[in-house]
Structure 1
Amino acid sequence: MADDLTPYRMITDVLCRTFALSEEELRPDASFDELGLDSLALAELAVTVEDETGHRLDGITAGHTLAQAAETVAARLATGMAGTTANTA
């Protein structure tokens, strides 16, 4: 991810590039379901986010909004969470 991109902007850029969505239809309160993304598309989004940030976008469903996804990425970047979510206990 380029240093000057916010997590929200990075996600919207990925959505435009990968899923041919227009910037006009992307808004923070839009759910992935509203945007027509199914579970397979969300998996592809998660892989792309991980490739660009080194952090996984786990737990996002079609009912989540773009703002919620961006908050997840921002929190992981801020805490430096590892790219894996495996339990070590």
Structure 2
Amino acid sequence: MSPVQTSLRSTLTGKFDVPESEIVPDATLESLGLDSLSLAELALILQEELGVEIQDDEAAARTTVGELTQTLATKYAATPGPTAR
């Protein structure tokens, strides 16, 4: 599992109590029970953990887990860090 997938899954399960079995690529963030406040909090947590900037529309209610994972993976790969990514 990539760092992006690990971070997203651990945040959804640990912080927002989403069952691991529900975190599938076609699930929307809304269907996982995240409201607008939760979406903002999710974006902040992921930004801090991954060192990438997340726009409001990139983590919107109708965004799927797969779409968010792909967006984050692209940004994460393009972000210089202390180790090679």
* TM-score where L is the length of structure 2: 0.81
Contact preservation (8 Å) 2:13, 2:19: yes
Contact preservation (8 Å) 1:57, 1:69: no
Contact preservation (8 Å) 1:31, 1:62: yes
Shift >4 Å, 4+ stretches: none
Name the residue aligned to 2:83: none
Contact preservation (8 Å) 2:4, 2:69: yes
Pairing partner for 1:31 from 19, 28, 37: 28
Give the percent of matched residue pairs that are identical in Structure 1 and Structure 2: 32
Unaligned runs of 5+ in 2: 81-85
1:68 equivalent to 2:64? Answer no
Unaligned runs of 5+ in 1: 82-89
CA positional deviation for 1:9: 2.8
Aligned length: 78
